[in-house]
Amino acid sequence: MVVLAAPSGGGKTTIANELRRRRPDIFGYSVSATTRKPRAGEQDGAAYHFLTREEFRRRVQAGDFLEWAEYAGELYGTLRAEVERVLASGRHVVLDIEVQGAQQVRRAYPRPASVSIFVIPPSPRVLIERLRKRRTESEQELLERLAIAVREVETARTDVPTRRVFDHILVNDDLDTAVNRVIELADAADGAKPGPDMTPLLAAFVKELEREADQLRQSARRST
Ligand code: ADP
Ligand code: 5GP
């Protein structure tokens, strides 16, 4: 199981899509369920299984989810059936999930059954630029996602010394390099050597992201 977690805009969907495109023989994607509305171009059953809140709750009660979490007011979850479908085909299953979900998966699939990778862009400014360019959120939603991102990167920072949840921190600068690294880590599973200590980088990232998000909040307030 290959878990990709990242702040929104970190690039996990892009990396997951590239893995499937390049190596469909070794990577399959678990299509999550969500209560959020589809974005333009998102197909039901491909990007997500789009469910109503009632249907999602019903499936939680039925035990259909391996993990689920609330993110920015919407529910997201990994369906056991999706994971089993991919694993049964003899491929790695790629999960693109937020941090609370990654914590749950780690408990259910301890190392080496899963490799868990936290992905960040090279800087908070690049993160914000990429989110803006994606054009999928309103300014208010973007601010909410940045506030969540601060907490997520902080969680990853405190996790580094114990590696309780994340095995690796991956900087998604050049896409090709990032995708190759994920392939390497998936192949090596528990055998991959941990890289350099990423604590200082993550600490600086959190500080800078807080500053950038604060500035954006203030300018949003001024313009209303
Ligand atoms: P996430 O799924 O983590 O929210 P996405 O995969 O949607 O993030 O990526 C956010 C935006 O950044 C997308 O528009 C994507 O095309 C772009 N992006 C992702 N990785 C890179 C990269 N390495 N270089 C440039 N742009 C990237
Ligand atoms: P988005 O709305 O941008 O598609 O996703 C919002 C967040 O929910 C992202 O961090 C994404 O990775 C996460 N997410 C997507 N599917 C799942 C899932 O099945 N479980 C959990 N816990 N998070 C998910």
Closest CA to 123 of 171, 155, 168, 177: 171
Q: How far is the CA of 127 from the centre of ligand 1 (A)?
A: 8
Name the pLDDT band for 224 (thresholds 50, 70, 90). confident
Question: CA 48 to CA 8: how far, in whole Å?
Answer: 16
Containing 70, the helix (H) or strand (E) segment is strand 65-71
Instruction: Kindly state the average pLDDT of the residues 44-55.
Output: 97
Q: How does residue 16 score in pLDDT terms, banded at 50, 70 and 90?
A: very high
Q: Which domains does the chain have, with CATH numbers?
A: 2-30+91-223 (3.40.50.300)
Candidate of 21, 76, 130, 135 to mutate for ligand 1, largest count of ligand atoms within 8 Å of Cβ: 130
Please say if the pLDDT value at position 184 is more than 90.
yes
Structure confidence at residue 193 (pLDDT):
73
Q: For the chain, what percent of residues have pLDDT higher than 90?
A: 91
Confidence of residue 223 (pLDDT cuts 50, 70, 90): confident
What helix, strand, coil percent values describe the chain, rounded to 5? Answer: 50, 20, 30
Q: What is residue 190's predicted lDDT score, i.e. its pLDDT?
A: 59
Does the CB atom of residue 77 touch ligand 2 within 6 A?
yes
32 lines ligand 1 (CB under 6 A): no
Cβ(71) – ligand 2 distance below 6 Å: yes
pLDDT at 33 over 70: yes
State the pLDDT confidence band at 195, using cuts at 50, 70 and 90.
Answer: confident
- pLDDT for 79 beyond 90: yes
Closest CA to 142 of 128, 121, 155, 153: 128
Distance of alpha carbon 94 from alpha carbon 86, whole angstroms: 9
Asked if pLDDT for residue 107 goes beyond 80, the answer is: yes
C-alpha 90 – ligand 2 centre gap (Å): 24
Q: Is the pLDDT of residue 192 over 80?
A: no
- The residue whose C-alpha atom lies closest to atom 18 belonging to ligand 2 is 77
In this structure, which residue's CA is closest to atom 22 in ligand 1?
175
For ligand 1, the distance from its centroid to the CA atom of residue 62, given in whole angstroms, is 34
Residue with tokens 């690796």: 168
- Which ligand 2 atom sits nearest the alpha carbon of residue 33? 19
Contacts of 97 (CB under 8 A, 6+ apart): 3, 4, 5, 32, 67, 69, 76, 78, 105
pLDDT at 191 over 70: no
Q: Is 62 exposed, middle or buried (0-12, 13-18, 19+ CB in 10 A)?
A: exposed
Q: Residues 129-181: pLDDT tens digits?
A: 999 999 888 999 999 999 999 999 999 999 999 999 999 999 999 999 999 99
Give the pLDDT mean for 94-118. 96
User: What's the rounded Cα separation, in Å, for the pair 100 and 1?
Assistant: 16
Whether 10 is in the pocket of ligand 1, judged by its Cβ within 6 Å, is yes
CB of 117 shorter than 6 A to ligand 2: no
Q: Tell me what the pLDDT averaged over the chain comes to.
A: 95
